[in-house]
Amino acid sequence: MSKIKVTPSEFQVLSKYILEVSGIALAAGKEYLVETRLSNIMDALQCPSYNDLYSKAKRDHTHDIEKKIIDAISTNETYFFRDNTPFDLIQHKLIPDLIDRRSKNTGILQKTGIRIWSSASSTGQEIYSISMILKDMGIDYTRYNIKLLATDISDAAIAQASYGKYNRFEVTRGLSKQRLERYFNPDGDYWRIKDEIRAMVTFKKLNLMKPFTGLGKFDMILCRNVAIYFTAQDRKMLFERISEMLEPDGVLIIGSTESLTNEISFFQPQRYLNSTFYVRK
Ligand SMILES: C[S@@+](CC[C@H](N)C(=O)[O-])C[C@H]1O[C@@H](n2cnc3c(N)ncnc32)[C@H](O)[C@@H]1O
């Protein structure tokens, strides 16, 4: 592992670059993060300094180094049914209410459909938790025309999510034995999500700092544990754009430890049991 230290001026340049390409804000004091997470890339590219890494990244028209830096710097921590209560909320309130409203509004569910977006999906546990809930509920995907979209900025995270393969540690986190056996197939030392669950989801690379072109509108958006890495200004801009991506009765779910204090003008908070969700204003 590279033992090269990042100098204050290199940290300034690199953190500005990382902010530009990903929205991830590295405040002073996060020098260790740059040193620990970028050391493998420094070694692989034989960079004598962080300035050299920056120059190589800027000169690289394939954007391959940029991708590697984003993969390394982003925190992909996630697990199945993370925090539990949002998934109880989805299962016991949001999905039944949506189905009810869609049935009343149109009488023809196929025409309206239900669209759910996991907007910083990391390695897929969040969106697969929703697929499993929908299966548990016995919901007929075709009848309700349910579409699940999962996006993330990290190529590596999206690749794993799309492949749906998890190691022993990952499947012990948040997943009951029943669901593991019901929805996964053993694959050597790994477990692979069954095709019937995998097929429900479309995975796509997407940077939340860039325009959401061509995504359409959603009935439910999850934007959990990602905005904490952005500046206050970027957070506000992001949640305003997310509110515009919601159907008039669409809902937003954020991380259990997050709040929308500065972005509340776009949403109406609502409580259900121990969860808060946000309806578009
Ligand atoms: C801590 S994980 C959260 C995963 C999941 N939402 C959860 O709560 O368990 C944060 C994810 O946000 C992604 N991310 C960071 N910056 C992003 C950006 N600008 N656009 C899209 N995704 C981003 C990271 O790659 C990472 O996978």
Predicted TM-score of the model (pTM): 0.95
- Each residue of 98-119: pLDDT tens digit? 988 887 766 555 556 899 999 9
**Residue 264: is its pLDDT beyond 90?**
no
Å from CA of 274 to ligand 1 middle: 24
Backbone angles phi and psi of 214, in degrees to 5: 75, 15
Strands 267-272 and 246-254 come out as unpaired
Backbone angles phi and psi of 272, in degrees to 5: -145, 120
d(CA 140, CA 142): 6
Predicted local distance difference test score (pLDDT) of residue 131: 96
Maximal C-alpha separation, the chain: 65
What is the 8-class DSSP label of residue 208? T
Q: Is 83 left (phi over 0), alpha (psi -120 to 50) or beta?
A: left
In this structure, the residues whose C-beta lies within 6 A of any atom of ligand 1 are: 22-24, 74-78, 82, 120, 122, 126, 152-154, 157, 207-209, 224-226, 229, 255
- Each residue of 11-70: pLDDT tens digit? 999 999 999 999 999 999 999 999 999 999 999 999 999 999 999 999 999 999 999 999
Å from CA of 227 to ligand 1 middle: 8
Contact between 221 and 119 (Cβ < 8 Å): yes
Count CB atoms within 10 A of the CB of residue 264.
Answer: 13
Give the position, in ligand 1's atom list, of the atom nearest the Cα of 71.
Answer: 25
What is the 8-class DSSP label of residue 125? H
Reported residue count of the chain is: 281
Instruction: Measure the CA dihedral 231/234/240/242, to 10°.
Output: -100
Predicted local distance difference test score (pLDDT) of residue 1: 60
Pocket test for ligand 1, best of 33, 153, 212, 245 (most atoms within 8 A of CB): 153
Domains, the chain, ordered by start: 8-73 (no CATH), 85-280 (3.40.50.150)
What is the 8-class DSSP label of residue 7? P
